[in-house]
Protein backbone atom coordinates (compact mmCIF):
# COMPACT_ATOMS: atom_id res chain seq x y z
CA UNK A 1 0.00 0.00 0.00
CA UNK A 2 2.83 2.41 0.86
CA UNK A 3 4.50 1.75 -2.49
CA UNK A 4 1.20 2.35 -4.31
CA UNK A 5 0.67 5.65 -2.46
CA UNK A 6 4.27 6.71 -3.16
CA UNK A 7 3.77 6.11 -6.88
CA UNK A 8 0.59 8.17 -6.85
CA UNK A 9 2.22 11.05 -4.98
CA UNK A 10 5.24 11.06 -7.30
CA UNK A 11 2.92 11.04 -10.29
CA UNK A 12 1.04 14.04 -8.94
CA UNK A 13 4.27 15.92 -8.28
CA UNK A 14 5.46 15.23 -11.83
CA UNK A 15 2.13 16.05 -13.46
CA UNK A 16 2.99 19.75 -13.82
CA UNK A 17 5.93 18.89 -16.02
CA UNK A 18 4.48 15.97 -17.96
CA UNK A 19 1.04 17.40 -18.61
CA UNK A 20 1.34 20.27 -21.05
CA UNK A 21 -1.61 22.45 -21.97
CA UNK A 22 -2.14 24.19 -25.28
CA UNK A 23 -4.84 25.87 -27.32
CA UNK A 24 -5.22 25.79 -31.09
CA UNK A 25 -9.01 26.16 -31.41
CA UNK A 26 -9.23 28.86 -34.09
CA UNK A 27 -11.86 28.23 -36.79
CA UNK A 28 -13.20 25.03 -35.24
CA UNK A 29 -16.99 25.15 -35.59
CA UNK A 30 -18.29 22.02 -33.87
CA UNK A 31 -17.22 18.89 -32.00
CA UNK A 32 -18.25 15.28 -31.69
CA UNK A 33 -18.20 14.21 -28.04
CA UNK A 34 -16.26 11.05 -27.22
CA UNK A 35 -16.13 9.94 -23.57
CA UNK A 36 -14.54 6.75 -22.30
CA UNK A 37 -14.01 5.45 -18.79
CA UNK A 38 -11.93 2.34 -18.26
CA UNK A 39 -11.95 0.79 -14.81
CA UNK A 40 -14.07 1.76 -11.82
CA UNK A 41 -14.02 3.13 -8.30
CA UNK A 42 -15.95 0.86 -5.94
CA UNK A 43 -17.70 -0.57 -9.02
CA UNK A 44 -18.79 2.92 -10.15
CA UNK A 45 -18.15 4.19 -13.68
CA UNK A 46 -18.48 7.93 -14.43
CA UNK A 47 -18.91 7.89 -18.21
CA UNK A 48 -22.58 8.94 -18.25
CA UNK A 49 -22.09 11.57 -15.52
CA UNK A 50 -19.13 13.00 -17.46
CA UNK A 51 -21.17 13.22 -20.67
CA UNK A 52 -24.04 14.98 -18.87
CA UNK A 53 -21.66 17.49 -17.24
CA UNK A 54 -20.03 18.39 -20.56
CA UNK A 55 -23.32 18.61 -22.47
CA UNK A 56 -24.86 20.81 -19.78
CA UNK A 57 -21.98 23.31 -19.87
CA UNK A 58 -21.79 23.37 -23.67
CA UNK A 59 -25.58 23.84 -24.00
CA UNK A 60 -25.05 27.30 -22.54
CA UNK A 61 -22.32 28.20 -25.05
CA UNK A 62 -21.89 28.77 -28.79
CA UNK A 63 -20.02 25.49 -29.20
CA UNK A 64 -22.07 22.92 -31.08
CA UNK A 65 -21.92 19.18 -30.52
CA UNK A 66 -22.63 17.00 -33.56
CA UNK A 67 -23.56 13.33 -33.76
CA UNK A 68 -20.95 12.38 -36.31
CA UNK A 69 -17.91 13.89 -37.89
CA UNK A 70 -16.17 12.55 -40.96
CA UNK A 71 -13.39 15.12 -41.02
CA UNK A 72 -14.19 17.28 -38.01
CA UNK A 73 -12.96 17.82 -34.52
CA UNK A 74 -13.55 15.52 -31.54
CA UNK A 75 -13.92 16.58 -27.92
CA UNK A 76 -12.45 13.61 -26.12
CA UNK A 77 -12.44 12.74 -22.46
CA UNK A 78 -10.60 9.59 -21.44
CA UNK A 79 -10.69 8.44 -17.83
CA UNK A 80 -8.63 5.55 -16.50
CA UNK A 81 -9.47 4.45 -12.96
CA UNK A 82 -7.86 1.86 -10.74
CA UNK A 83 -8.50 0.98 -7.13
CA UNK A 84 -7.42 -1.14 -4.23
CA UNK A 85 -9.20 -1.74 -0.94
CA UNK A 86 -8.27 1.75 0.36
CA UNK A 87 -7.88 4.11 -2.57
CA UNK A 88 -9.31 5.08 -5.97
CA UNK A 89 -7.00 6.73 -8.52
CA UNK A 90 -8.10 8.25 -11.83
CA UNK A 91 -6.07 9.73 -14.65
CA UNK A 92 -8.08 11.98 -16.96
CA UNK A 93 -7.31 13.49 -20.36
CA UNK A 94 -9.55 16.25 -21.76
CA UNK A 95 -8.66 17.18 -25.32
CA UNK A 96 -9.85 18.19 -28.75
CA UNK A 97 -8.42 16.41 -31.76
CA UNK A 98 -8.92 15.45 -35.38
CA UNK A 99 -7.50 12.76 -37.64
CA UNK A 100 -5.67 13.05 -40.93
CA UNK A 101 -3.87 10.80 -43.41
CA UNK A 102 -0.29 11.16 -44.44
CA UNK A 103 1.76 9.34 -47.04
CA UNK A 104 5.48 8.81 -46.72
CA UNK A 105 7.96 8.70 -49.62
CA UNK A 106 7.46 4.93 -49.95
CA UNK A 107 3.74 5.48 -50.54
CA UNK A 108 2.66 4.07 -47.18
CA UNK A 109 -0.45 5.82 -45.85
CA UNK A 110 -0.89 6.32 -42.11
CA UNK A 111 -3.59 7.94 -40.08
CA UNK A 112 -2.44 10.30 -37.37
CA UNK A 113 -4.06 12.31 -34.63
CA UNK A 114 -3.77 16.10 -34.41
CA UNK A 115 -4.50 17.60 -30.99
CA UNK A 116 -5.70 21.17 -30.78
CA UNK A 117 -6.35 21.41 -27.03
CA UNK A 118 -5.14 19.31 -24.12
CA UNK A 119 -5.66 19.21 -20.35
CA UNK A 120 -4.66 16.34 -18.02
CA UNK A 121 -4.79 15.54 -14.33
CA UNK A 122 -4.75 12.78 -11.71
CA UNK A 123 -7.17 12.36 -8.81
CA UNK A 124 -7.11 10.04 -5.84
CA UNK A 125 -9.26 9.58 -2.77
CA UNK A 126 -10.10 6.97 -0.18
CA UNK A 127 -13.80 7.84 -0.54
CA UNK A 128 -15.63 7.02 -3.79
CA UNK A 129 -18.12 9.91 -3.37
CA UNK A 130 -15.31 12.45 -2.94
CA UNK A 131 -13.43 10.87 -5.83
CA UNK A 132 -16.43 11.18 -8.16
CA UNK A 133 -17.03 14.76 -7.02
CA UNK A 134 -13.38 15.75 -7.62
CA UNK A 135 -13.40 14.24 -11.08
CA UNK A 136 -16.73 15.73 -12.22
CA UNK A 137 -15.89 19.16 -10.79
CA UNK A 138 -12.64 19.09 -12.76
CA UNK A 139 -14.49 18.09 -15.95
CA UNK A 140 -16.96 20.94 -15.43
CA UNK A 141 -14.15 23.44 -14.84
CA UNK A 142 -12.18 22.29 -17.90
CA UNK A 143 -15.30 22.37 -20.08
CA UNK A 144 -15.94 25.96 -18.97
CA UNK A 145 -12.30 26.80 -19.66
CA UNK A 146 -12.66 25.24 -23.13
CA UNK A 147 -15.63 27.52 -23.82
CA UNK A 148 -13.63 30.58 -22.76
CA UNK A 149 -10.53 29.52 -24.72
CA UNK A 150 -12.60 28.63 -27.81
CA UNK A 151 -14.41 31.98 -27.66
CA UNK A 152 -11.11 33.85 -27.37
CA UNK A 153 -9.61 31.86 -30.26
CA UNK A 154 -12.48 32.85 -32.57
CA UNK A 155 -11.63 36.57 -32.23
SS3 137: helix
For residue 19, the enclosing domain spans 2-153
**At 21, is the pLDDT very low, low, confident or very high (cuts 50, 70, 90)?**
very low
Cα 31–Cα 36–Cα 40 angle in degrees, nearest 5:
155
pTM: 0.79
Q: pLDDT tens digits for 106-146?
A: 888 888 888 888 999 998 899 989 999 999 999 999 999 99
Length reported for the chain:
155
pLDDT at residue 155 in the model: 85
Element (H, E) at 54: helix 47-59
Element (H, E) at 64: strand 64-66
Q: Rounded CA gap, 12 and 153, in Å? A: 30
Q: Rounded CA gap, 29 and 65, in Å? A: 9
Question: What domain count does the chain have?
Answer: 1
- CA 49 from chain centre, in angstroms, equals 14
Amino acid sequence: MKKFLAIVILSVLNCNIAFAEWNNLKDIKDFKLSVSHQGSCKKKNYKKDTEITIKYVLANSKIKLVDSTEEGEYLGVAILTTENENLCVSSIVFDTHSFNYSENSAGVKKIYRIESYNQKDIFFSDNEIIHKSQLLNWVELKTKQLVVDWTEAQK
